[in-house]
Amino acid sequence: MSARKLLLLTAVVFLLFAFILFFERKMPTTSERQSKGNLHWDIPPDRVVSIRLERPDSVVELAKDGENWRIVQPSPYPADSFAASDLARDLAQLRNPGEEAPDAKPEEYGLAKPAAKATFAWTDDPASKQKSSRTVEFGIDLPGTDIAAARIAGTSRVLFVPSSVAAAVKKPATDFQSKDVFGGSSIDVSRIDLERGRGHLVLAQRAGSWWMEQPLKDLADGEAASRLSGDLTGLRVIEFVAADKAALATYGLSPPLYRVMVADAKGKTTAVEFGATRSDGNTVYGRRESQVFTVSSSIVEELSKEAVAFRDTHLIRFDRATVSGLEGTFGADHFSLARGKDGGWLVGGKPQLAGAVDELMTALLEIKTRAFLDDAEAQGLAGRTSSATIRITASGDEPWVVQAYGGPGEPAATVSRRPGGFRLAADAISGLPDAFRKATTIVVPTVAAPTPAAKPARPTAAAGAKK
């Protein structure tokens, strides 16, 4: 092959590569073309920021609120994000079912007095606040088809669109209301504030653990708090109820029996009130913002629990990874471990196997109270001499110090960072001295001495060989 032909083929390959790189890769695929079909226009749905739906007797207005949607009119309320997003997509990418009628007269298709209008606004650039808008008027549904007539406001050209879009535009505000009472995910909940009559329960997450802040400051039962968090975020509206202010007292909502405020990690708080049980016995009335609804009465079982049900029965809680020191004193016996700079455990400066230390931490985390002492009993422990002291030091946090008391009756304990005292089972800490002893006993792995190599045998003369 001549150099000229080789150069020509190289140029062709280069041009083909440039075409694929700069043009063809940006062209829609066959599946994309099929999914979009014939569109009257193609606007990115995620840039739609507001929708206004008008009918002769009502107005519904939806607005984007961050990643979610809200109903602005007729009454402010969270919108069902799926319903609002679907409508935004249908309007932004309005499909043409394939029918054309260039000579159609608007008045013949119910567009002289439209049955409904939809005005949607969008931003041309995600970083820009400048908006563009378009108003679509909807007329009659074509008999025997799934097609409706429409037109852009101010024009005379009749457009044919899916009748499902026209039906969505004609929906009342209640069809766009979110049925999530609180919404969000339980793992995002950082605080639960529950008011019930004169009682007040506040649970908050700190450093991955649940704590009670009201009616007393104490370690909260993580499972109980997480269960309440999951029940609240998973609560769904069964039925929306039209009610005026005069009816709130009838529903037990003025004043409410329970008022719950749930905050997420970003500080966004949602407040919901709960009232009387409905006549069916299975639902209770609730209210968020100005909207009254009913929910399953099972939520009342969680909301009515006493604060003691949310106190953790485990004496202490800590993150194993952050623990830097463990100490235990049992009479004349004292044990101490510290984490070295390399993350390993040291006993008297000598490295210790991590398995035994991990077993000790498991034993400490499993200490549970049998009952909570009242104030008088807890104060009585202050004048007694403790039979055991346990100290857990963690980086970036206050240490946990457990003082155990023996003597007549069942053993008891006090815990730093927790109020009052705790009644313990008879064997609650009896196994801890052995756990500390095992964790602080240095085990030096034995290495077998190498077996000396056998000396090679001296050759001997073969039997019958001649010298």
Q: What is the pLDDT of residues 359-383, one digit of tens each?
A: 999 999 999 999 999 888 888 888 7
CATH number assigned to the domain with residue range 186-310, chosen from the 4 options 1.10.287, 3.10.310, 2.60.40, 1.10.3470 = 2.60.40
Q: Which two tokens stand for residue 84?
A: 């609002």
Q: Which two tokens stand for residue 13?
A: 């390959």
Q: Tell me what the mean pLDDT of segment 164-182 comes to.
A: 95
How many CA within 13 A on the CB side of residue 460?
4
Contact 225, 203 (CB under 8 A): yes
Residue 35 has pLDDT above 60, yes or no: no
Fold of 34-176: Immunoglobulin-like (2.60.40)
Residue 255 has pLDDT above 80, yes or no: yes
Contact 277, 270 (CB under 8 A): no
Which ranges constitute the DSSP H helices of 62-143?
Answer: 81-92
Lowest mean pLDDT among 97-101, 111-115, 463-467: 463-467
The C-alpha R_g of the chain, in whole angstroms, comes to 37
Nearest to 364, CA basis, from 398, 319, 304: 319
Q: Tell me what the mean pLDDT of segment 241-270 comes to.
A: 91
Residue 384 has pLDDT above 80, yes or no: yes
Residue 15 has pLDDT above 80, yes or no: no
- Which is it for the CA torsion 88, 89, 93, 97, positive or negative? negative
426: helix, strand or coil: coil
* pLDDT tens digits along 48-68: 999 999 999 999 999 998 889
Contact 298, 239 (CB under 8 A): no
Contact 205, 190 (CB under 8 A): yes
Token look-up 């953790």 returns 312
Sequence spans of domains, the chain: 34-176, 186-310, 320-440
Which band of pLDDT confidence, cut at 50, 70 and 90, is reported for residue 152?
Answer: very high
Higher pLDDT, 328 or 99: 328
Query: Can you give the pLDDT at residue 307?
Result: 93
Residue 32 has pLDDT above 70, yes or no: no
Full DSSP string of 73-89: ESS-EEB-HHHHHHHHH
Name residues whose C-beta falls within 8 Å of residue 368's C-beta, 6 or more positions apart in sequence: 313, 314, 315, 425, 428
Cα gap 271→352, rounded to integer Å: 52
* Beta-bridge mates of residue 390: 328, 402
Mean residue pLDDT across the chain: 87
Q: Which two tokens stand for residue 19?
A: 């075409």
Which band of pLDDT confidence, cut at 50, 70 and 90, is reported for residue 31?
Answer: very low
Contact 215, 199 (CB under 8 A): yes
φ, ψ for residue 216 (rounded to 5)?
A: -145, 160
Cα 379 to the center of its chain, rounded Å: 41
Cα gap 370→40, rounded to integer Å: 71
Render the burial of 55-66: b for 16+ CB within 10 Å, e for the rest.
beeeebbbbbee
The answer to whether domain 34-176 and domain 186-310 are alike in fold is yes
Peptide linkage before 255 cis (omega within 30 of 0): yes
Query: Can you give the pLDDT at residue 450?
Result: 59
Cβ atoms within 10 Å of 79's Cβ, excluding its own: 24
Cα gap 351→345, rounded to integer Å: 6
Q: Tell me the whole-structure pTM to 2 decimals.
A: 0.78
Render the burial of 123-155: b for 16+ CB within 10 Å, e for the rest.
beeeeeeeeeebbbbbbebeeeeebbbbbeeee
Cα gap 424→180, rounded to integer Å: 43
